[in-house]
């Protein structure tokens, strides 16, 4: 559907989001761009300096755990210095006040979780977190935000329980997502009346299916993105611009941003 003006489009989306019982807010790296977190595929994106297949895969970790830990340690330090932006905060407020709202993110930067913690909402993180580590032998998961010393294999993080090497607690390319998390995300998508998609290139599967499943089940698809994506043509409302500006207007009932 194409609206005569941007105001009409925003008004249409605002009304639908306010009236809906069940809403999915599905986000990607673009929602964190205004917090200073580099995106993956946009200008200056993370994958520009590093190729995903070189670093975000189990093969890369097996081949060179020090390089992979160095990259994740650096990303974690960068993100820890960033703050949730107006989009994260508006989404957290929206979810905290509405039990039928599910926040589903592909991001591992923890910014939704920090905003949600302040607002008392929860977040489904499809691809894990930069702030956790998992044992490569016993699978033990632990919060992990210490600086990573990649000087040698011995100085890399090791498991307190069994002594084996730890890995970042994220989902790498070629790895399956946690089935419980993915099922919860797909269930929310199938029963959503509105799916608000913010800042994702919608290229990574199976995550991107959250939006297509919602649309196929009859949800109104509202896309907020700086550029066009494979979802844009099928979206009911396309809002081209920055998440930090548009999302609070869509979700806040006129509250000061």
- Which residues are at the interface with ligand BV8 (CB under 6 A)? 28-30, 33-34, 39-42, 45, 56, 106-108, 127, 170-176, 199-201, 203-206, 224-227, 229, 242-243
Q: Answer with the entry of Zn ion, ligand BV8, none that 135 interacts with (C-beta below 5 to 8 A by kind).
A: Zn ion
Q: How many degrees, rounded to 5, is the angle at CA 3 between CA 2 and CA 9?
A: 115
Q: Answer with the entry of ligand BV8, Zn ion, none that 113 interacts with (C-beta below 5 to 8 A by kind).
A: none
Q: Answer with the entry of Zn ion, ligand BV8, none that 222 interacts with (C-beta below 5 to 8 A by kind).
A: none
Q: Choose between 63 and 137: whose C-beta lies nearer to Zn ion.
A: 137
Q: Choose between 113 and 229: whose C-beta lies nearer to ligand BV8.
A: 229
Work out how close the CB of 38 gets to ligand BV8 at its nearest, in angstroms, rounded to a whole number.
8
Is 15 exposed, middle or buried (CB count within 10 Å of its CB: 0-12, 13-18, 19+)?
Answer: exposed
Q: Choose between 85 and 121: whose C-beta lies nearer to ligand BV8.
A: 85
Token pair in block for residue 208:
């991107």
CB 72 within 8 A of CB 157: no
Q: Choose between 83 and 162: whose C-beta lies nearer to ligand BV8.
A: 83
Cα separation, 207 vs 197, whole angstroms: 12
Cα separation, 94 vs 80, whole angstroms: 24
Work out how close the CB of 160 gets to Zn ion at its nearest, in angstroms, rounded to a whole number.
8
Active site residue 180: no
Work out how close the CB of 167 gets to Zn ion at its nearest, in angstroms, rounded to a whole number.
11
Across the chain, the runs of DSSP E, i.e. the strands, are: 23-27, 101-105, 124-125, 128-135, 141-143, 166-170, 194-198, 220-225, 237-240
Token pair in block for residue 198:
């913010």
Q: Answer with the entry of ligand BV8, Zn ion, none that 205 interacts with (C-beta below 5 to 8 A by kind).
A: ligand BV8
Work out how close the CB of 161 gets to Zn ion at its nearest, in angstroms, rounded to a whole number.
5
Cα separation, 131 vs 169, whole angstroms: 8
**Torsion sign across C-alpha atoms 117, 122, 123, 128:** positive
Q: Choose between 56 and 101: whose C-beta lies nearer to ligand BV8.
A: 56
Which residue shows structure tokens 């591992």? 108
**127, 144, 158, 180: which is the annotated catalytic residue?**
127
The footprint of Zn ion (CB under 5 A) covers: 135, 137-138, 140, 159, 161-162, 164
| Nearest residue to ligand BV8, by Cβ distance, number only | 30
Work out how close the CB of 205 gets to ligand BV8 at its nearest, in angstroms, rounded to a whole number.
3
Non-local (6+) Cβ contacts of 206 within 8 A are 177, 182
Is 174 exposed, middle or buried (CB count within 10 Å of its CB: 0-12, 13-18, 19+)?
Answer: exposed
Q: Answer with the entry of Zn ion, ligand BV8, none that 134 interacts with (C-beta below 5 to 8 A by kind).
A: none
Among all residues, which ones are annotated catalytic? 127
């Amino acid at each position: 559907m194409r609206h005569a003006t941007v105001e009409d489009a925003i008004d249409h989306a605002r009304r639908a989001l306010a009236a809906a019982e069940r809403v999915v807010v599905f986000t990607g790296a673009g929602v964190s761009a205004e917090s200073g977190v580099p995106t993956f595929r946009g200008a200056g994106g993370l994958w520009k300096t590093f190729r995903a297949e070189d670093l975000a895969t189990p093969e890369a970790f097996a081949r060179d755990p020090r390089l992979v830990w160095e990259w994740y340690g650096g990303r974690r330090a960068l993100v820890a210095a960033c703050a949730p932006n107006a989009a994260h905060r508006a989404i957290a407020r929206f979810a905290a006040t509405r039990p039928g709202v599910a926040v589903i993110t592909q991001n591992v930067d923890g910014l939704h979780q920090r905003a949600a913690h302040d607002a008392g909402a929860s977040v489904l993180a499809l691809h894990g977190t930069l702030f956790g580590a998992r044992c490569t032998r016993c699978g033990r998961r632990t919060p992990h935000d210490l600086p990573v010393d990649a000087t040698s294999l011995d100085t890399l993080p090791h498991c307190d329980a069994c002594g084996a090497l730890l890995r970042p607690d994220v989902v790498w390319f070629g790895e399956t997502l946690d089935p419980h998390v993915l099922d919860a995300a797909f269930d929310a998508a199938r029963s959503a009346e509105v799916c608000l998609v913010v800042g994702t290139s919608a290229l990574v599967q199976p995550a991107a299916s959250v939006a297509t499943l919602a649309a196929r089940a009859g949800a109104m698809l509202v896309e907020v993105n700086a550029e066009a994506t494979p979802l844009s043509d099928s979206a009911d409302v396309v809002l081209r611009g920055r998440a930090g500006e548009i999302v609070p207007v869509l979700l806040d009932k006129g509250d000061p941003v």
